[in-house]
Amino acid sequence: MKLSPGTIMKTKPFYLTLLSLLIFGVSVGFNLVADSAPHEEIPVPKKQVQADAPFDKMMQVLMHKRCMNCHPSDDRPRQGEDSHVHNFGVQRGKENHGLPGLQCQTCHQSENNNYSGVPGAPHWGLAPKTMGWQGLTRVEIAKNLLDKEKNGGRDLEEIVKHLTEDALVAWAWKPGVNADGKAREAPPVSREDFIKAVKKWAEDGAKIPEK
Ligand code: HEC
Ligand code: HEC
């Protein structure tokens, strides 16, 4: 039998060689791919919304009216569950403590007065305008929170300290009763869980999501 190229291609050994070459080639290919990225983890698809993520918890508190009523973007504190403009024409004033003659401390003491319905806590006053959050999205608020030009020159550690220890922040969970004798609503996350969430968020690099 003559071995012309045509007949070689029809023999069994030819196909076996071709097959083993193919297998060899594919396995070398796999090894190359594996070697080029030896330690990369296989990405696991992430859930779009993690309701219990620390950032979500933290922002649910910051956006609550107990905080927002004191962090307006204009010069008037807000009151109540519907965040109406503060009665008696109360204004921010130069130092965020009201106009001369109508200072916050005239009415607000260092504790709630549950007879008159005037809330109180140490150093009661309006958050400075640069810390006004009303009308901002949660992402904008979070950026504001970390911006030293706006947050009173605080670094992350000081922000965490403020959020977890400040008397006005703490007041939100003991807000007392209003002038009609009705209990004010506390934020939707307990103070304990809020503190945990803030610390965890900071520990993980204080990342701000896109939305
Ligand atoms: C009675 C008014 C009042 C209430 C209520 C209040 N704040 Fe404030 N907040 C202030 C004032 C005043 C400052 C500025 C204090 C300073 O710079 O020393 C401030 C500053 C801050 C700051 C630091 C500056 C910044 O913007 O990053 C944070 C954070 C903050 N508040 C969070 C909260 C949170 C969260 C709540 C609700 C749980 C809350 N505040 C409730 C008055 C209030
Ligand atoms: C003339 C007295 C008076 C003065 C002055 C005054 N307040 Fe008030 N404030 C009240 C009373 C009364 C309430 C309670 C109203 C209610 O809840 O029914 C109140 C409620 C509030 C609340 C609402 C808390 C909430 O979440 O419902 C905030 C915030 C507040 N005051 C901030 C201020 C700030 C800041 C100043 C100074 C710039 C100030 N107030 C000056 C009497 C006063």
Kindly report, residue by residue over 165-187, the tens digit of the pLDDT.
999 999 999 999 999 999 999 99
- What sign does the CA torsion over 122, 189, 139, 207 have? positive
User: Residue 94, Cβ neighbours under 10 Å: how many?
Assistant: 9
Q: How far apart are CA 69 and CA 133, in angstroms?
A: 10
Alpha carbon of 61 to ligand 2 centroid (Å):
20
Quickly tell me which residue has 């090894």 as its tokens.
31
What are phi and psi for residue 112, nearest 5 degrees? -60, 140
> Among the atoms of ligand 1, which is closest to the Cα of residue 171?
5
> Among the atoms of ligand 2, which is closest to the Cα of residue 124?
35
pLDDT of residue 33: 46
Q: Which residues of the chain have pLDDT under 70?
A: 1-52
Pocket of ligand 1 (CB under 6 A): 61-62, 66-67, 70-71, 96, 124-128, 131, 145, 151-152, 159, 162-163, 168-169, 171-172
